[in-house]
Amino acid sequence: MKVLMFGWEFPPHITGGLGTACFGMTKGLLKHGIEVLFVVPKAYGDESQEAVRLINASDVTVKMREPVFQDYWNQITFMEIGSNLIPYVGPVEFEKMVAEDLRTTEEKMSPVFAERFSFSGKYGQDLMTEVSRYALIGATLASEQQFDIIHAHDWLTYPAGVAAKHVSGKPLVVHMHATEFDRSGENVNSNVYDIERKGMEEADRVITVSNLTRNIVIERYGINPDKVFTVHNAVEPIEKAELANSEKHVKEKVVTFLGRITFQKGPEYFIEAAKKVLERDKNVRFVMAGTGDLMEKMIRRAAKLRIASNFHFTGFLKGENVDRMFAMSDVYVMPSVSEPFGISPLEAMRSNVPVVISKQSGVAEVLDHVLKVDFWDIDAMADAIYSLLHYDSLTTMFRKHGTEEVNNLKWENAARHIVEVYKQVYQE
């Protein structure tokens, strides 16, 4: 079976868990005999193609004069960005970017109808423009490639998946890694919400990364429950030799937060819990690894709480640097307000690090040997961190059983469930 798969990012060029999940998933699918054509907006040439044939959307020529593309173009509402969809930009900087975008509108509109598009593959002010163009690439590839199933990851690629389905008549599976409610709370962007809902309505099957996300898809988007299936994420194994090369270089215990520093990830609760831990034990260092629109606010908050000497901001980490950070950590904390799944706790556990996670996360559905707290309960969070730092028997138990638990959460097993979904729609 051959799958035409659309994804916005692929390692090593990633901004979060989506690209990591796509990489592990495709490797798992290969073990089940699934051939994947993976389409990214922009390929850099250094991506691993051990499990996929990578297609660079920027190299695809769109034959705009052919009726199929003219008909599809007539159905597209070309969208200029109208609100803050850029994950790592604050409101002031965003306002400047939009102003600049408006000044150069004429320059941008003319290439929209070009036969070949140049994608940045990033989350910039041209995001909606690129999503619309990427949909045309989806239609083009659907008319040129041989495949059995279409698989689209998250809202950015849903229009491309829908376009490919309309052109080819092949079944469409969409994968929901995070909903607009996860990213924005109740202040949803209506354009993104509409794209998500349309993509799931058009899809033959919807895969969600947790039952938590499945419930949101059904209740908030009105999607038929009969076609929504949960397949939990997994994690790639890591060589123990890689861990041995990491040295801590500090004598204090290290507690780590790793993720986007945004509302969804709950960084402010981590800082408040850190303050409470440091009131009981000053020999602890807290690390916030990542970047995002709340980063400056978190730096100011740490300074105001007078814990800055024990608090470190590393910026964005990826690849080997993530593994090194976990190898230097004594406790990992994921205090997410709304987390569809959350791969980072699995990455920490495979590095033998005990974990504290919020109950409001999808990964809580599959993990037993972690401490779970409500994201808003900073007292419970501080108690959990303190306990793992000071009670050796507790830490030993979580390390031993946690490592065993995460070693069973393999992408090969997750891929088996995805193949079952493929077979359902392929046989209909």
The tokens describing 296, both together, are 């400056």
In this structure, the answer to whether residues 49 and 186 fall within a common structural domain is yes
Query: From CA 45, how far away is CA 54, in angstroms rounded?
Result: 9
The domain total for the chain is 2
Q: State what percent of residues in the chain have pLDDT above 90.
A: 66
Provide the token pair at 30.
Answer: 């290969």
Q: CB of 168 within 8 A of CB of 73?
A: no
What integer pLDDT is reported at residue 393 of this predicted model?
A: 94
Q: CA 127, 130, 132, 135: dihedral to nearest 10 degrees?
A: -130
Statement to judge: residues 286 and 160 lie in one domain: no
* 111 shares its domain with 173: yes
Are 18 and 8 spatial neighbours (Cβ–Cβ below 8 Å)? yes
The yes-or-no verdict on residue 185 having pLDDT over 80 is yes
Residues 247 and 327 in one domain: yes
Amino acid at 81: I
Quick check: 247 pLDDT over 90?
A: no
Please tell me the least confidently modeled range out of 15-19, 67-71, 338-342, 371-375: 67-71
With contact defined as beta carbons under 8 Å apart, do 266 and 298 qualify? Answer: no
Higher pLDDT, 427 or 324: 324
User: What does the alpha-carbon distance between residue 273 and residue 87 come to, in Å, rounded to a whole number?
Assistant: 25
- Of 75-79, 155-159, 184-188, 288-292, the least confident: 75-79
Nearest partner of 294 among 269, 256, 261, 260, judged by Cα: 261
The whole-angstrom separation of Cα 217 and Cα 232 is: 15
CA 208/CA 232 separation, integer angstroms = 8
Q: Please check whether residues 157 and 262 belong to one and the same domain.
A: no
pLDDT band at 123 (very low <50, low <70, confident <90, very high): confident
Looking at the fold, whether 274 and 371 belong to one and the same domain comes out as: yes
Check whether residue 210 and residue 256 sit in a common domain.
no
Per-residue pLDDT tens over the stretch 317-366? 988 889 899 999 999 999 999 899 999 999 999 999 999 999 999 999 99
Asked whether residue 348 falls in the same domain as residue 203, the answer is: no
Q: Where are the alpha helices (DSSP H) in 289-377?
A: 295-304, 320-327, 344-350
234 to each of 257, 336, 413, how far by Cα in Å?
A: 20, 18, 8
- Measure Cα distances from 161 to 22, 75, 149, 167, 363 in Å: 16, 14, 10, 10, 27
Domain carrying residue 362: 240-407
What is the mean pLDDT of the segment spanning 306-314?
97
Contact 334, 356 (CB under 8 A): yes
Examine the domain organization and report whether 202 and 79 are in the same domain.
yes
361 neighbors 339 (Cβ within 8 angstroms): yes
Does a cis peptide bond (omega within 30 degrees of 0) precede residue 12? yes
Mean pLDDT, range 290-305, rounded to an integer: 95
Q: Classify burial at 154, counting beta carbons within 10 Å of its beta carbon; exposed 0-12, middle 13-18, buried 19 or more.
A: buried
Per the prediction, the chain carries an average pLDDT of 87
Number of Cβ atoms within 10 Å of the Cβ of 355:
27
Backbone angles phi, psi at 168, to 5 degrees: -95, -25
Q: Is 92 found in the same domain as 173?
A: yes
pLDDT average, residue stretch 387-415? 93
298 vs 314: CA distance, rounded Å: 13
pLDDT, residue 120, reads 77
Contact 323, 243 (CB under 8 A): yes
User: Are 189 and 254 part of one and the same domain?
Assistant: no
What residues are paired with 331 via a beta bridge?
255
Does residue 427 carry a pLDDT above 70? yes
Say which CATH number the domain at 308 has. Answer: 3.40.50.2000
The reply to whether 52 and 132 lie within a common domain is: yes
C-beta of residue 356 within 8 angstroms of C-beta of residue 331: yes
Burial of 277 (0-12, 13-18, 19+ CB in 10 A): buried
